[in-house]
Structure 1
């Protein structure tokens, strides 16, 4: 019986191969090309600072562009005890409320009216006070560095947490550019485009709960792992900024389900995707789906730095291993390509080559992505560096 089942499975697989191999028409599921443009609400009510709400629209997977933003909307926060405040429209889909005076322990909701007159309303949410982050720690492992977060609430009233983080690292491009090519001339470059910093925000969902513990403590929760061989993050200097938020039970369940939907798919035995329902609803059309979940809390932050001197003797890549420079003559024979055409084509000057008589007769040039570090970062030193 076992053998016959195995051959049955083989037959099914062969049939699938023949079926798919014989298909010539591209199949696009309805979700890929669906014209739905659901409202996306991203942000939270801040009990100790500026509240920021970002409004945008979903788009089908076939569109290769940034999601369209929702501008000229009226965004208000309403207190359950009465009264409302208007957010300021920044014109780019972002709406802010500075020093709104939102009170911890009080309930508020968000009301949105778009430019086309459609209205949306969130459930009331309670503004929670987020405990401070006790510590950020890290440990070198075989393949890189594991970072951990530890926190606790002495009042035992938080129980549910969410974290976001920002990575910033220092790096150098392959070549130091002394010159730039302007108006068909090589002149000294006034700024350094070899030394940069890059910042990336977390894209995954990190949540934790102490509800099953006797005390409200999150101890050494693994937050982010940085490989020493996959990027140049740990080459020069690395910084991690962690932001911590206190959640309600409902908000925790929302983020946990969203995490399962986005991170746990890939095999036959993973949980199957399902629609994650937020707490923002259509008023004009109650059946209209809205993407997002409104929460209320304060924000706690903590930053650390890691230097290569603190790490094992790893071979961390620069990110520019494949870069090569070429030398181009200023006055080449007619059949050769000189420096000027190459500079005009986008190659960037690196340095000059000088003859024994002190005359510049050639320049070294390199591809922009090997010379200009600003293509993937900024040469403006962060204020916290």
Structure 2
């Protein structure tokens, strides 16, 4: 999405720029009607869990910025009497369990917020076919990840994907002791700080269509690229791809959104008026809203990539992740100084001296090099291989 400007003014501006090569910055005006618009996005996942994201368009000088819409009442209503409700949290998210919903019933979404009621019409359910496979090939100094799918019934045609990626993290140094309550004591061996896992949800709009093909089949559709020198592929990487079937109207809406997000900053971008969503304000039908709500089933498939899948011989720096973790030695009387500077102890080093005395120092490093919980969760995912 991009800033709304007056189109005749754009043309005049373009002529002036070409004629006079003006280098002064230009800030176009933005119509106030595009401030504080409700944005509703989500997919009613029949047989799964549904997340509806609500927000408002922000400041006039940056109307693409979004402000979470909290405390909105969100309801899914079925034409057979089904009703589910929840409330959006401080991040504008409302999560509903929709495992009990069925494709035989059509659903609409209703939102009550700020004294107004917003609603979709009854939505067409789209059953997503299974993902045939998720695979990768080595490309552009990394792993290019693809999905393959088809629909024997030739009924889907319009596809959308997203994914969650997860990767294993290991601490650079094991640590057997810690500074606690003014003392150096052994660490609890039951608290894992060496092996963790981090996750990330996709943000790009991933679309595919077989509309112009005789067969409803899509092959080698790229969904992600992981550089070979990324922390994500140091040990083990996983991607869970999710597939959604869309209506033609939903696909066209997302296609415009995709173009806008890829072309932010040009004065010839599509205007907000071209992004009319499918949520209507019942209290004021003239009020414009943004976003699109779809409904249907979701299919998914997981892929693992190991460090063993990297090219033989390491292939140089393009495939080598470098973590800046240099250990250092601290004398005993400097321990508290380094602890306060966010360093942790790798080991306590005790050196017996003549006469029965001992000399103690500590091998230390930055805390993120020792405690992996600062970069992820130490709870191993159920699906993670041994």
Specify the alignment match of 2:12 in structure 1: none
CA contact (8 A) 1:32 1:62 kept: no
**Superimposed CA distance per residue, residues 285-308 of structure 1 (whole angstroms, 9 cap, x where no aligned partner):** 223332321100111010011111
Match 1:325 to one of 327, 352, 355: 327
What's the offset of the Cα at 1:330?
A: 0.9
Secondary structure of the structure 2 residue equivalent to 1:166: strand
CA contact (8 A) 1:58 1:68 kept: no
Matches within 5 A, 1:1-385: 12-13=20-21, 15-16=22-23, 19=24, 36-60=35-59, 67-71=67-71, 73-79=72-78, 81=79, 83-89=81-87, 91-92=89-90, 93-99=92-98, 101-104=100-103, 106-114=105-113, 116-190=114-188, 191-229=191-229, 231-265=230-264, 272-275=269-272, 276-312=275-311, 313-314=314-315, 315=317, 316-320=319-323, 322-331=324-333, 338-356=334-352, 359=358, 361-385=360-384
CA contact (8 A) 1:75 1:112 kept: yes
Sort the Cα spacing of 1:84 and 1:367 in 2 relative to 1 into closer, same or farther, 3 A. Answer: same
Q: CA RMSD in A?
A: 3.1
Sort the Cα spacing of 1:142 and 1:75 in 2 relative to 1 into closer, same or farther, 3 A. Answer: closer
What's the offset of the Cα at 1:62?
A: 7.5
What's the offset of the Cα at 1:10?
A: 10
Distance 1:179 1:41 in 2: 50
Sort the Cα spacing of 1:58 and 1:178 in 2 relative to 1 into closer, same or farther, 3 A. Answer: farther
CA contact (8 A) 1:348 1:368 kept: yes
* Runs (5+) with no aligned partner, structure 2: 1-15
Specify the alignment match of 1:4 in structure 2: none
CA contact (8 A) 1:105 1:128 kept: no
CA contact (8 A) 2:69 2:88 kept: no
Secondary structure of the structure 2 residue equivalent to 1:243: strand
What's the offset of the Cα at 1:144?
A: 0.8
TM-score, normalising length from structure 2? 0.82
Distance 1:203 1:101 in 2: 28
**Superimposed CA distance per residue, residues 35-60 of structure 1 (whole angstroms, 9 cap, x where no aligned partner):** 94333323222222233323333433
Secondary structure of the structure 2 residue equivalent to 1:340: helix
Secondary structure of the structure 2 residue equivalent to 1:41: strand
CA contact (8 A) 1:196 1:381 kept: yes
What's the offset of the Cα at 1:117?
A: 1.8
Sort the Cα spacing of 1:59 and 1:10 in 2 relative to 1 into closer, same or farther, 3 A. Answer: closer
Distance 2:201 2:259 in 1: 20
CA contact (8 A) 2:242 2:301 kept: yes
What's the offset of the Cα at 1:356?
A: 4.9
CA contact (8 A) 2:74 2:88 kept: no
Distance 2:30 2:177 in 1: 51
CA contact (8 A) 2:346 2:364 kept: yes
